[in-house]
Structure 1
Amino acid sequence: MAIEIKAPTFPESVADGTVATWHKKPGDAVKRDELIVDIETDKVVMEVLAEADGVLAEIVKNEGDTVLSSELLGTLSEGGAAVAAPAAAAAPAPAAAAAALAAAAEEAILSPAARKIAAENDLDRNAIPGTGKGGRVTKEDAVAAVEAKKAPAPAAKPVAPAAEAPIFAVGDRVEKRVPMTRLRAKIAERLVEAQSSMAMLTTYNEVNMKPIMDLRNKYKDLFEKKHNGVRLGFMSFFVKAATEALKRFPGVNASIDGNDIVYHGYSDVGVAVSSDRGLVVPVLRNAELMSLAEIEGTIASYGRKAKEGKLTIEEMTGGTFTISNGGVFGSLLSSPIVNPPQTAILGMHKIQERPMAVNGQVVILPMMYLALSYDHRLIDGKEAVSFLVAIKDLLEDPARLLLDV
């Protein structure tokens, strides 16, 4: 019986996708719920799983092809046997089937990213030690295996070129052309759109991080113990301060829809996260109702999912305000670009000790520059500056967050 392998049903915000990777070839044995093909959209990578045990009979859409929602990708022969080399005697057939099933079972403990790295670098999947849950081989395990393979013997076998970006020797004039991913292309499109369609302006301020750092150092161990390993970082304080400031300045939490202004009675805060595929912005829903532990735990979960390519479209859709932390990469000052249809974005930066004048005395304090980029069509300069000052005041005196003052 032939089973159709179809692309996922895309939400309204996603027009189409691209076939990123086929994990099986025609004739390969497939187990139920095993990953067959990855579909890349401009937001996330969506996995297509097998609906039943069988053999991949046909591939209709090849890697790189554009597919629409629920479009046919290929067919699966239910209950078939893997196509071996020229059929020999009937005796080895059970052994071949057992081997195919064993191989499929072994593949099941590899994450999609690890499986792709193993295939591209000709790694023995059985030889990669897994550090994930239940012995699952993670992307980091596969990368470590690649490095271990490269280190001992540079002059191994003259295999064809790897798909990874080459390391060019000094003086080389080699070029490598690779297609831009859909996510990277969409990011570029939206950034250009934002700059061309908005009256974008950025205002700056600085915040003394010492009160937050002292509070964090005092309670971080107790916090982690009480909340089952969730670590107390700085982002949760910024999210709470931002949600409080958004209540006071609702225009910063609004969006423009045609000739209408849409004011949101909730704070869905997007948190920019870097991944191998590019910048993604998962959303903290109703962040104004979340505790510090819930914020930190959710952000940590999003970070792990971003690395593994597991973020869902639902987790990345929407958002009324965004926070971007370039400080983790060492950025001292930058002007973030608003993510439309939102009207503002807060940029965090590196904490740098600087001499500051306090009560007529020079004191060395850990300072951070803050940047608020906003759409001047909706937000006036006074409102933007007051919003940023409110965040600064809340962070420099964290008790204000509890007292709502």
Structure 2
Amino acid sequence: MSIEIKAPQFPESVADGTVATWHKQEGDAVKRDELLVDIETDKIVLEVVAASDGVMGKILKGEGETVESEEVLGILEAGGAKPAAAAAKPAAEAQGEQAASADADDAGAEADAVAGPAARKLISEHGLDAAAIKGSGKGGRITREDVEKALKEREDAKRSSAASPAPQSAAAEAPAAPGQREERRVPMTRLRKRIAQRLVEAQQTAAMLTTFNEVNMKPIMQMRKDYQSAFEKAHGVRLGFMSFFVRACVEALKRYPAVNASIDADDIVYHGFYDIGVAVSSERGLVVPVLRDVDQKGLAEVETQIIEYGNKARDGKLSIDEMTGGTFTISNGGVFGSLLSTPILNPPQTAILGMHKIQERPMAVDGKVEILPMMYLALSYDHRLIDGKEAVQFLVAVKNFIEDPARLLLDI
């Protein structure tokens, strides 16, 4: 029985998608709920799994092709006896050809080896030599897993070479010839293109300005030192800086509601809730999952959810709902060593806070010079809605909450 493999039903905010990777090729055995294909959209990667055991039939939409919601991508033969027998024939022929000439065994295997679309894409992106990869699929086909194994061997070889002066293993890449000018062209992903589009739109449509301040991190660092063990024992999660900043921003947003608002055509929309977006870096690009109703969450809940979102972003498992909405965004470039930057707005939001690296600096305190752990803060805002006075006062409020955490408890 033939079963149509269809693209998922896309949300209203997603018009179409691109076939990113086929994990099964025509003739491959398939188990129920096994991953068949990844569909990349402007926001996330959607997975399509097998509805039944069987054999992969004809692939109708190849990698890189654009698909619409619920469009047929390929055919799955449930049970798959007939396609399996057909697929077995070329494999048997390949084995017969290899047995016919023992001297040409290695060359024949290389000639017959065929890399599937997913494997070819990985080989191209990472500059691997297909002839050096041993295929484990039918008829010597190079599978995605074979390429990933070769990549791992290459990385292991590089690490071994860096740790020891011994000669590199055969799996390591040969060094480039002196003076060689290499370049590699890789198609931009849909997510990267969407990020670029939104960043340009933000700069073209908003009257964006940035105001700066600096905050003494010593009180928060001392609090973490004093209560880290007890906090982790009570809540099962480590106490980080981000939860303090999220909480400080919520309290500051309550005092300056324009910073929590958005512009819709000629209207100003004031939000009576606090959904804070936290920018997270992933291999596919920057994503901004949203912490909902943060004013109703404790520090432990915020830390737990941030860790969960970070893991999902790394594995490409964030859903569209988890990245939709948000009334204000926090971006922490300090984790990568950034000392100062001007974050770009995340439309339709009208403000974004940028955190940066904590660095010890000499500061004047009560007429004396002290070495303190300082962090620069940057607030980018849309001047169409937020006046400079409000922006500065908001940032000062965040600074005061961080430098004197008791204010968060006393609501002052």
- TM-score tier by shorter-chain length is 0.7 to 0.9
Give the corresponding residue for 1:321: 328
1:235 — aligned with what?
242
Gaps of 5+ in 2: 93-117, 137-144, 162-166
Cα offset for 1:201?
Answer: 0.3
Letter in 2 for 1:250: P
Name the SS of the counterpart of 1:346 in structure 2: strand
Counterpart CA distance in 1 for 2:150 and 2:355 is: 33
Question: For residues 305 and 27 of structure 1, do their structure 2 counterparts lie closer, same or farther at Cα, with a shift above 3 Å needed?
Answer: same
Aligned equivalents of 2:134, 2:314: Cα separation in 1: 21
What residue in structure 2 maps to residue 57 of structure 1? 57
**For residues 216-241 of structure 1, what are the alpha-carbon distances to aligned partners after superposition, in whole Å with 9 as ceiling and x for unaligned?**
1111111111112x111100000000
Aligned to 1:33: 33
Percent identity over paired residues: 69
Is 1:226 aligned to residue 234 of structure 2? yes
Shift of 1:123: 8.1
The answer to whether the 8 A contact 1:118-1:124 is kept is no
Out of 305, 309, 321, which is 2:316 matched to? 309
Report the Cα distance in structure 2 between the residues aligned to 1:205 and 1:298, rounded to whole angstroms. Answer: 28
TM-score (norm 2): 0.82
Choose from 300, 303, 325 the match for 2:307. 300
Letter in 2 for 1:195: Q
Structure 1 CA distance for aligned equivalents of residues 233 and 149 of structure 2: 28
| 2:378 counterpart of 1:377 | no
1:300 partner letter: I
Say if 1:170 and 1:333 are closer, same or farther in 2 by CA, change over 3 A: farther
User: Which amino acid in the other structure matches residue 377 of structure 2?
Assistant: L
Alignment partners' CA distance in 1, 2:247 and 2:44: 27
Whether the 8 Å contact between 2:276 and 2:290 is mirrored in structure 1 is: yes
| Superposition pairs of residues 199-278 of structure 1, within 5 angstroms | 199-228=207-236, 230-278=237-285
Report 1:177-216 matches (<5 A).
177-216=185-224
What secondary structure is seen at the aligned counterpart in 2 of 1:246? helix
Residue 89 of structure 2 aligns to a residue whose secondary structure is coil
Matched residue SS, 2:353:
strand
Q: Structure 2: which amino acid aligns with 1:262?
A: V
2:151 maps to 1:147: no
SS of residue in 1 equivalent to 2:247: helix
Paired position in structure 1 for 2:355: 348
| C-alpha displacement of 1:156 | 3.9
Which aligned segments of 4 or more residues in structure 1 are displaced greater than 6 angstroms? 116-121, 140-143
Q: How far, CA to CA, are the matches of 2:248 and 2:270 in structure 1? A: 19
Deviation track 1:356-381 (CA, whole Å, cap 9, x = no partner) reads 11111111110000000000000000
Larger radius of gyration: 2
Structure 1 gaps, min length 5: 89-112, 126-136
Distance 1:57 1:167, change over 3 A: farther
CA distance in structure 1 between the aligned counterparts of 2:71 and 2:25, rounded to whole angstroms:
19
C-alpha contact 2:275 2:328 (8 A) present in aligned 1: yes
Residue 148 of structure 1, CA deviation = 2.4
Equivalent in 367, 381, 394 of residue 387 of structure 1: 394
CA RMSD of aligned residues (A): 2.8
Give the C-alpha shift of residue 86 in structure 1. 4.2
TM-score with structure 1 length normalisation?
0.83
* Aligned pair partner of 1:337 in 335, 344, 354: 344
- Conserved? CA contact 2:338–2:357, under 8 Å: yes
SS at the partner of 1:84? helix
Count how many residue pairs are aligned between Structure 1 and Structure 2. 361
Aligned counterparts of 1:205 and 1:364: Cα–Cα separation in 2: 18
- Aligned partner letter, 1:42: D
Given that 2:154 and 2:171 are in contact with CA atoms closer than 8 Å, whether structure 1 keeps it comes out as no
Determine if the alignment matches structure 1 residue 69 to structure 2 residue 77: no
Per-residue deviation, 1:215: 0.2
Q: Deviations over 1:154-201 (max 9, x none)?
A: 57489xxx9xxx985552212211100111111110000000000000
Q: Is the 8 A contact 1:331 1:349 kept in 2?
A: yes
Structure 1 residues 227, 28: closer, same or farther in 2, change over 3 A? same
